Amino acid sequence: MGDGPQDEAAPAYEGGVESNIDYHVTFEVSGQGGRVRVMLNGRPIHDYQDSSEQTRFVAHAGRNTNGELIVRVANATDQPQRITLDWDEPPLTSATHGTATVLAADWDTGTPFEPAPVRPRSVTVTAADLSSWQVEPYSFTVFQLPQ
């Protein structure tokens, strides 16, 4: 074992390297950084596969100055996410509705420093919608629910 900490993702190279010697080091990175391979003089010395899951999915809720409940959901993954909004007291009844405003596009849509080629769209939501909502990939959704 090398001299790196025991919890390092890729521990130090067994045998080390010496000063004043030229080495040819090659790095191969794939899977958006999930896999890293390191070659030293053509010989593999590290092959690290990150098995942790990065969700990049967040939600936040609060009331605006009108007393409406505002729920913001960001999905920065390439997969749709099924969510359930669960309440002690449901914010909607069978007689009321709210809105969901969704802004969604592929991660590479558009051109840097130019206006986004996508526009938000709003849909009416019911109590049933809040019990099972599919959040689109690469999207930002804002639920606006009456007081």
Residues 1 and 67 in one domain: no
Whether pTM > 0.85 for this model: the answer is no
Each residue's pLDDT tens digit, 97-136: 999 999 999 888 888 888 888 899 999 999 888 888 999 9
Predicted confidence band at 5 (pLDDT cuts at 50, 70, 90)?
very low
pLDDT of amino acid 32: 67
Q: What is the total count of domains within the chain?
A: 2
Q: Tell whether 34 and 96 lie within a shared domain.
A: no
48 shares its domain with 75:
no
Quote the pLDDT of residue 29: 83
- Residues 1 and 20 placed together within one structural domain of the fold: yes
Look at the chain and count its residues. Answer: 147
pLDDT, residue 20, reads 87
pLDDT of residue 34: 74
> What's the rounded Cα separation, in Å, for the pair 69 and 144?
6
Same domain, 99 and 31: no
Residue 61 has pLDDT above 90, yes or no: no
- Mean per-residue pLDDT, 32-46: 83
- Residues 29-56, mean pLDDT to the nearest whole number: 78
Same domain for 65 and 86: yes
Q: Say yes or no: 46 and 62 in one domain.
A: no
What is the span of the domain harbouring residue 48? 1-52
